[in-house]
Structures are given as C-alpha cells and as structure tokens.
Amino acid sequence: MSKDTSGRNFVIIGQQPWDTEIGSNCKNIAIELSKNNRVLYVNSPLDRVTLMRGKTDPKVIKRINVIKGKEDGLIKIQDNLWNYYPDCIVESINFLKSHFLFNLFNKRNNKKFARSLTKALNTLGFKDFILFNDNEMFKGFYLQDFLKPHLGIYYSRDYMLGVDYWKRHGMQLEPELIRKSDLCFSNSEYLAEYCRKYNNNSYYIGQGCDIDDFINVSNDVPEDIQSVNKPIIGYVGSLNSERLDLDIIELIATSYPQYSVVLVGPEDDKFKASKLHQLSNVIFLGQKPVSMLPNYIAAFDICINPQLVNEITIGNYPRKIDEYLALGKPTIATTTRTMETFRDFVYLADSPADYIKFIAKALDENSEALKTKRTDFALTHTWEQSVKLMMNQITKYESGRNG
C-alpha cells in the first residue's frame, strides 16, 4: 500500500545553496513541498578551493563558523522547512584525470557529507525520508548508498555534461546515478528522454514560475532605466557566452540604434570584453535583487532570449520565458525543442535575421488581447502543478513497488 502524498520527509540536495542570489528551481520545489511535507534543504558542503579563494566572502565565513561550531548550521526557514549548512570541508578533486582516483576521493567526500547530514536528520527526527538530488552528480553520487533513503530521486533541469567542469567525470557518473535512482524527474521533455535512456522511471514534470511576483508587480520603473530611450528591448538573466549569442544581441542593437537594449544580469569575461560595451544603446545593469526583476521586465517593451543552440542549451527550460509572459510581454526566443511548447505565445527565431523581423512585428501587433493570452498561458506553469505531477509519480511508483 502506498504512502499518502502529504506528511512526508524530503531531503533536498543540489548545486545551488539556499543563500543563492539567483532564481532556483530547487528552492521553489522545496517551498512548494513544504506546504504539505517536512523539507530539509541542504547546502553543498564547502570545498577546499572555495575556502582558499573566498576567505573574506560572508557566505564562506558563515560556513567556516558552522564548521568550527561557532554557529548552528541548522536553520528554520519557515514552518516545515529547514536549511542546513554541513559542518565539514570536502576536497576539490575535479582536477584529477584518473576516474579511479576521482571515484576514490569522491566516495570519501560523500561519506563526510553523509556523516554531517545525518546529524541534521537525527536532530529533526527525519525517518523514512525521500532524497531529492538536483543535478548534484558528484557530491551526491553515493548519498543513497550511505543514507539509505526510502526513495532516491534525481532531478535533471539542465544538460550538465555540456559544461567542461562536469563532463570529464560526469560522463561516467551521471548515467550511473540516473540508473540507480528510483525515479528521475526533469523540467523538459528533452531531458526526460535523456534520463529514460538509463532509467525507465523518468518523467517530465514541467516547470513552475513565481507568478504572484509578476502579476502583482508595481508600476514603479527602476531609477536606472527611467531616462533610457524607448522602446526597450530587454533581457534578464546571467550573461553567459556559452548560452547566449553575442552576435544576435549586437545585430539587434545595430539594426535598431534608436532603441535601447537593456541587459540585466552578471556578465562573464567574454561579455565584458565584447563589442556590446562600445554600443551606446546597449545598457548593462549588472546583477539585481531577484525581488526587483519583475519591475525591470515590466519596463521592457520587448523581451528576448537569444540562446545559442548547443548541447548545454538544447534541453534547457528557460524559466525567464514564463516570467516574461506572466507580464504579458512580447517575447522573442531562439527555437529549441523545449521552446516549441511556447510556439503559440512566443516569436520563435530560427536565425539572427528573425530577431530583427520579429521585433518589428511584435511592436506592431501587440495588443491587450495578446497580453492577456500570454499571461493566461504563464499562469498554467506553476510550482504547485509541477510538484503535483511529481507526487503523483511517486505514489504510482510506491504502489508498484509494494505490489
């Protein structure tokens, strides 16, 4: 007989700590789960390189204080939701080329992590828990073996093996981790198919958006864009040259010199060195608090997502698209398989020239009816719905396993 879908204990591990400044699927899922279950959200343990490079970083100092016993690592966020800072340091081992040596030291790192995590589990009285692993294929690889959860779940929200850091050892470890997990969930059909190669119990559960933050946004235009020329063509998110096409952004800026291209988010080195900084109508605003992003999007006339199409992005579900649409904004994005879901609500560009064509078209035909259509579609993408799909699959799996 399967367990009820509420009143469960969930332990969530992943790449993004609770104190991240950027949006996080994993945090959203934790918050949604905590409405009916107890949830322990676990930050990744501090590694040796991060310790050496960030001794003055307040976040690193916090972790050191926990390790030294000066601060409590277990923090209650709200009812049914706790955040845990592990009281251990793990070694930075990804430089090792030998898979044998990497696996040896990785197992030791996992053992340290599991030992620390067990303290928090005992303090909270978490029994019979479900371990939810958000793409942490290294530090979480052996946790199922050490912690013996009721269920082990792997969550795939990005194709991490397209990134060099994860590729070297992840090509071996991620398929094995998917294979030994009880269930796998993903936020795109592409990634669900990828997981299904190694585990038949792999399911697409969609993606949520913090709709309320966007529906209820104030009309206050951020001060740093009050005087820029309109129309504003805007992008919100990390300016990562492995994911975004610099040439498309440059083409937009030079094709529409009378418009402003506003980019909100932290830049990588390639962006910082790009020609975009020489164009007077391209405005870099840097990283902003998550709470302010709806105000920036509300001030845009056109929203863009000029993705490169590569192995990193092809299965990616860009959550910013839902955020753009929630505010009813005309949105132009590069065509990918995942973006096909949005075809009736987003202008999908197959080439750089399509961006130029669609900007003119979007400005010309925008209407209140189209805005409402976009917002209504975004409203169907909620974390409540995503977690409901996940819980339904957990119940089915447990029913089958228990006969």
Q: For tokens 């505010």, what's the residue?
A: 327
* Confidence check: pLDDT of 275 > 80: yes
Residue 293 scores a pLDDT above 80: yes
What the block records as the tokens of 340 is: 């096909």
Instruction: Name the residue type at position 91.
Output: E
Sort 175 into a burial class: Cβ within 10 Å, 0-12 / 13-18 / 19+: middle
Is 70 exceeded by the pLDDT of residue 4? Answer: no
The pLDDT of residue 238 is: 92
Tokens 């398989």 — which residue?
337
> Does 9-208+382-401 match 211-378 in CATH topology?
yes
**pLDDT at position 369:** 97
Confidence of residue 29 (pLDDT cuts 50, 70, 90): very high
Give 31-77 pLDDT, tens digit per residue: 999 999 999 999 999 999 999 998 899 999 999 999 999 999 999 99
pLDDT above 70 (res 5): no
Query: pLDDT averaged over the chain?
Result: 93
What CA–CA distance (Å, rounded) separates 67 from 74?
12
Task: Specify whether the CB–CB gap between 185 and 150 falls below 8 A.
Answer: no
pLDDT band at 2 (very low <50, low <70, confident <90, very high): very low
For 350, the token pair is 């197959």
The answer, as to whether pTM is greater than 0.75, is yes
In this predicted structure, what is the pLDDT of residue 55? 85
**Backbone phi, psi, residue 84, to 5°:** -125, 130
What integer pLDDT is reported at residue 311 of this predicted model? 83
Domain 211-378 has CATH 3.40.50.300: no
| pLDDT above 60: residue 1 | no
What angle do helix axes 246-255 and 352-365 make, rounded to 10 degrees? 50
Q: Which helix (H) or strand (E) holds 305?
A: strand 302-305
List the structure tokens of 368.
């209140």
Q: CB–CB of 34/109 below 8 Å? A: no
pLDDT at 402: 67
3-state SS, residue 187: coil
Mean per-residue pLDDT, 268-279: 97
Q: Look at the domain 9-208+382-401 and name its fold.
A: Rossmann fold (3.40.50)
* pLDDT for the residue 403: 58
In angstroms, what CA-CA distances link 346 with 237, 303, 343?
A: 18, 10, 5
Least confident segment among 133-137, 162-166, 243-247, 293-297: 162-166
Six token digits for residue 87: 């009281």
* Average pLDDT value for residue range 100-119: 97
Contact, 63 vs 107, CB < 8 A?
A: no
The helix/strand/coil state of 23 is coil
Rounded to an integer, the average pLDDT of 213-219 is 80
Residues 276, 278, 279, 285, Cα dihedral to 10°: 60
Domain extent listing, the chain: 9-208+382-401, 211-378
Query: How many whole angstroms separate alpha carbon 91 and alpha carbon 108?
Result: 9
Which pLDDT belongs to residue 400? 83
Q: Where are the alpha helices (DSSP H) in 54-98?
A: 58-67
| Per-residue model confidence (pLDDT) at position 312 | 81
Pairwise CA distance, residues 181 & 56, whole Å:
38
Instruction: Answer for the pair 232, 259: CB distance below 8 angstroms, yes or no.
Output: yes
What percent of the chain has pLDDT above 70?
98
- Exposed e or buried b for every residue in 360-377, given b needs 16+ CB within 10 A? eebeeeeeeeeeeebbeb
Give per-residue pLDDT as tens, 130-187. Answer: 999 999 999 999 999 999 999 999 999 888 888 888 999 999 999 999 999 999 999 9
Quick check: 118 pLDDT over 70? Answer: yes
Helix segments in 181-318, DSSP class H:
189-196, 211-215, 246-255, 269-272, 293-299
Nearest to 203 by CA among 175, 180, 182: 182
